[in-house]
Chains A and B, each alone.
Chain A
Amino acid sequence: MRIAIKTILIAATLLCALPARAALNVLACEPEWGALVRELAGDLAKVYQATTALQDVHHIQARPSLIAAARRADFLVCTGAELEIGWLPVLTRESGNPAIQPGAPGYFEATRYVTLIEVPTRLDRSEGDVHPAGNPHVQTDPRSIAKVAAGLAERLAAVDPQNAAEYRKRYASFAARWQQAIERWSREAAPLKGVRVVEHHRAFSYLFGWLGVEVIGYLEPKPGVEPSAGHLAEVLKLQQTRPAKFVVRASYVDPRAAEWFSEHAGIPVVVLPFSVGGDERATDLFTWTDELVGLLVKAAK
């Protein structure tokens, strides 16, 4: 009897101990944060990516598979600033998982580490799909990624203290490589300074702010509102006074508006990957930013 109890106790202890030794389960709302976790955690984390770069992250549905992933997650990495407001609250509420509730150490919002731009002065839905805290698409500026990486490494270390040293070591290596890459991208992108473009959605504001690219108009009349014929004609008028060199859209959006504009304005369309996986060459954070800079430089020539 004693032996039986002992065996059961040992078995129970082993079972309880098992999850602690397994990799940290990370639910990344967007591919860029999934890629960043892979850089900083390597094999220490098992990353489940909620969305792909070919999906509009404003309009994701809280699918059963995502609720199941939220249930299993030890750590959640999202953009925040209400980008995921249509679906993330359902995932955290339905998951029954206290580790990833807003405010818990396992709930990480990248936009908290970056100063947001384009903060609306008027909060009114008649202005379209506005985000009260500002433009949430911070990932397109590699300097933002650097800031988020610093915060993320520390948070990973706090959530998984056993491996804190490893996270810090990996962060140090990443930060050094990333800083070198930023310097290289800055040099390569020098010709983009002052280049004028037309953009579909305010998706690359941070990237353009960094590179000094000037956006003369948007195909969307208001954030999140579908381009209309009347509005496109208005943007086309701008093209006559301050001509843009090309029109930019993220690879996940409907191509028709940009194609219409390109045809009527006689300028090319540049399709940029909005995140890692947005085209076949953007396989990690480095190759993705290579792609962003490379495509723009090529188009500006």
Chain B
Amino acid sequence: MQRIRLAAAVAAACLASAPVLAAGDEEIKQIRAQIEQMKHDYEARIADLEKRLSAAEAKTEQAVQTVERTAPPAPPPPQQSRSSAFNPDVSLVLQGRYANLQQNPDSYEIGGFIPSNGEVDPGPRGLSLSETELTVGAKADPYFGGQATVSLSPDNDVEVEEAYLYTLGLGHGLGIKAGRFFSKIGYQNEQHQHAWDFIDAPLPYRAFLGGQYGDDGVQFRWIAPTELFVELGGELLRGREFPGSDPDKNGIGLSTLFAHVGGDVGVSNSWRAGLSYLRTSPNGRDYDDVNAAGDPVTNAFSGNSRLWIMDAVWKWAPNGNPKQRNFKLQAEYFHRHEDGTLTYDATGAPIPGSYDSKQSGWYAQAVYQLMPRWRVGLRYDRLNYGTVDIGQVQSGVLTAADFPILESYRPTLSTAMLDWSPSEFSRLRLQFAQDKSRPGITDNQLFLQYIISLGAHGAHNW
């Protein structure tokens, strides 16, 4: 320390005298004297500081030794934390990929299931940029915090993925979220895409929720004051996207209920299980198809849509230390019942008919970190066609060939992945998949993906 100060003093003196190019002997002597003086001053000050420091140390020692003393200790020193200054936490996720797809992604469809019109296809072939996510979050005041994630698409579109406030001080385990957010139904739905263990969403998410369900509204949740983790909650939403139809009405367009329980088994195992319910009444939710004659058709569904999700996750790590090795098993089961009217419109003369479908699907995945940085994963997704009753077909007005997308089929998807994460902030992934979403067609897929996170250290949900 002393040396640095002296050096600084000398440097300052040199700088100060630099412009004086033709310095006389007298001047040099003066400068020397000044430096000498400064050195002396600094040494005196340093000696004084050292004295004070040792006095302070002695005092601290005394304080510890004075055991009967009950006066409060000195207030804690202020901590120099830069990221928790008033600036919000900002983080940016960059993603890119290479895809080798056997089938043209434009022909993607999930056979037997009403299309969600969401982003469910495997994406473009070849090299491409994926979503860039910018997240900004902070506490607004003692009552509310807020967070927004803006997604920049490779086509230069900007989308508000999430933008919500959350309460800080309600107490009693209560929390309210309002704005646009990913619903807390199921397990994977709430996670951002970059935190998924595979590059794409499992088939049931694609068929029943358009990939992932995010919406505008309010979420209420309550955590029970018990040793077992119990979370109960519900959401009142707009119904902006599939399975909703963005209704033009004053009331609630879509609502959900969810319950999650979880805990530990010993020090190495932890688990969570849940049951969720989503209900909406879409009005004129349409999709395009081609009829038996090969003409384009628009079909619109109006009625009730109810979705049940059961989810279960189990994680294992030796001694509960996931750094070296860990294992994660995750599965979700979906069951949907839709009934109402399906209106068939090929020529501008709509033909309405009754519609009643009971369909289901599930996926199960296992991811194993075999050593630091390296993980392998397997996933199997399957949809069950169940029963689909179309009034126009039953009455003979139209034939099943007029609704080719809804013809009976059982889509499956088998996936294997290997990823390498040099740090918490970067990941490279290789993924193979055999996609049998289209009736009778197999799409062999290969993906290479990178994900890197810049900025604030994100804390991920379990």
Q: Are B457 and A72 in contact (CB under 8 A)?
A: no
B427 surroundings in chain A (CB, below 8 A): none
Determine if B439 is an interface residue (Cβ-Cβ < 8 Å).
no
Interface-centre pick from A72, A85, A94, A96 (highest chain B CB count, 10 A): A96
B459–A62 CB distance below 8 A: yes
Question: How would residues 247 to 265 of chain A score, 1 for a CB under 8 Å from any chain B CB and 0 otherwise?
Answer: 0000010100000000000
| Interchain CA distance A98-B170 in the complex, whole Å | 7
Q: How does the 8 Å CB contact mask read for B76-93 relative to A, with 1 for contact and 0 for none?
A: 110111111000000000
Q: Does B106 contact A (CB under 8 A)?
A: no
A203-B94 Cα distance, complex, nearest whole Å: 32
A64 touches B225 (CB 8 A): no
Q: Is the CB of B462 within 8 A of A62?
A: yes
With A123-B82, A133-B80, A226-B373 already in contact, the answer to whether A67 and B459 are too (CB < 8 A) is no
Convert A59-98 into 0s and 1s, putting 1 for each residue whose CB lies closer than 8 angstroms to a CB of B: 1111111011101100000001110011111100111111
> Which positions 224-258 of chain B face chain A at CB distance < 8 Å?
224-231
Q: Which residue on B lies nearest to A252, using beta carbons?
A: B321
What residues of A have a CB within 8 angstroms of the CB of B170 in the complex? 96, 98
- B223: A residues at CB distance < 8 A: 67-68, 71, 94-96
Closest partner residue, chain A, to B166 (CB atom): A93
Chain B residues, Cβ within 8 Å of A90: 459-462
- Is the beta-carbon distance between A154 and B73 smaller than 8 angstroms? yes
A150 to B272, CA, bound (A): 39
Task: List residues of A (98-155) whose CB comes within 8 Å of B's CBs.
Answer: 98-99, 101-102, 109, 111-113, 115, 119, 123, 125, 129, 132-133, 146-147, 150-151, 154
Flag if B175 contacts A94 (CB, 8 Å). yes
Q: Does A63 contact B372, Cβ atoms closer than 8 Å? A: no
| CB-based contact B173/A71 at 8 Å | yes
Binds A, one of B64-72, B110-118, B123-131: B64-72
A173 at the interface (CB under 8 A from B): yes
Residue on B nearest A165 in the bound complex, by CB: B70
User: What's the Cα separation between A129 and B323 when bound, in Å?
Assistant: 14
Partner of B372, one of A65, A85, A98, A226: A226
- Is B65 a contact of A179 with CB atoms below 8 Å? yes
Cβ of B324 under 8 Å from chain A: yes
Contact A154 B72 (CB under 8 A): yes
Whether B462 pairs with A64 at a CB distance below 8 angstroms is: yes
A168 at the interface (CB under 8 A from B): yes
B459 interface neighbour in A89, A96, A226, Cβ under 8 Å: A89
B221 contacts which chain A residues (CB < 8 A)? 96
Q: Which residues of B contact A60 (CB under 8 A)?
A: 322
**B321 and A63 form a contact (CB under 8 A):** no
Asked if A194 CB lies within 8 Å of chain B CBs, one says: no
Using A123-B82, A146-B64 as known contacts, say yes or no to A224 and B173 having CB atoms under 8 A apart: no
Bound state CA distance, A55 and B51, in angstroms? 42
Dominant SS among interface residues on chain B: loop
Q: Once bound together, how far apart are the Cα atoms of A14 and B128, in whole Å?
A: 65
Total number of residue pairs linking A and B with CB closer than 8 Å: 167
Instruction: List, in ascending order, chain A residues with CB within 8 A of B373's CB.
Output: 226
A52-B319, A63-B270, A97-B173 as given contacts; A72 in contact with B225, CB under 8 Å = yes
Q: Which residue of A lies closest to B319 (CB)?
A: A54
When distances are taken between beta carbons in the complex, the residues of chain A under 8 Å from B6 are: none
CA distance A133 to B168 in the complex (A): 25
A295 within 8 A of B: no
Give Cα A272 to B260, complex, Å. 39
How many Å from the CB of A278 to the closest CB on chain B? Answer: 11
Q: Do A96 and B80 touch (CB < 8 A)?
A: no
Most buried by A among B145, B222, B271, B323: B323
Residues of A near B263 (CB, < 8 A) are: 64-65, 68
Kindly list chain A residues whose C-beta atoms are within 8 Å of the C-beta of B69: 172
CA distance A61 to B314 in the complex (A): 13
Interchain CB contact under 8 A, A96 and B172:
yes
Interface membership of B424, Cβ < 8 A: yes
**With known contacts A61-B315, A89-B459, A133-B81, A172–B67 Cβ distance under 8 A:** yes
Q: Digit string of A154-173 for contact with B (CB within 8 Å is 1, else 0)? A: 10000000000000100011
Residue numbers in B under 8 Å from A64 (CB-CB) = 229, 260-263, 270-272, 462
Q: Which residue of B lies closest to A69 (CB)?
A: B227
Q: Please give, as numbers and ranges, the residues of chain A lying within 8 Å of B122 by CB-CB distance.
A: none
Q: A71-B225, A146-B64, A179-B65 are in contact. Are A85 and B321 (CB under 8 A)?
A: no
B451: shortest Cβ distance to chain A, in Å? 15
Complex Cα–Cα for A125 and B91 (A): 13
B47 contacts A by Cβ under 8 Å? no
CA distance A94 to B190 in the complex (A): 13
Q: Which residues of chain B (327-348) have a CB below 8 Å from chain A?
A: none
Q: Determine the chain A residues whose CB is within 8 A of the CB of B424 once the complex forms.
A: 59, 86, 129
**Given A61-B322, A94-B223, A102-B84, 9 additional A-B pairs, CB 8 A:** A61-B460, A65-B227, A65-B229, A81-B79, A97-B173, A101-B169, A175-B67, A176-B65, A254-B324
30 A-B residue pairs with Cβ-Cβ distance under 8 Å, sorted by A, are A52-B267, A55-B319, A58-B323, A59-B322, A60-B322, A61-B270, A62-B459, A62-B462, A63-B262, A68-B223, A68-B226, A68-B227, A68-B229, A69-B227, A82-B83, A87-B459, A89-B459, A90-B462, A95-B223, A96-B172, A96-B175, A97-B173, A98-B168, A98-B171, A112-B79, A129-B424, A168-B70, A178-B64, A225-B423, A254-B323
> Which residues of B does A touch, CB under 8 Å?
60, 63-65, 67-70, 72-73, 76-77, 79-84, 145, 166, 168-175, 221-231, 260-264, 267, 270-272, 315, 319-324, 372-373, 423-425, 457, 459-462
9 A-B pairs with least C-beta separation: A64-B262, A64-B229, A68-B229, A112-B76, A150-B73, A96-B173, A176-B67, A55-B321, A56-B323
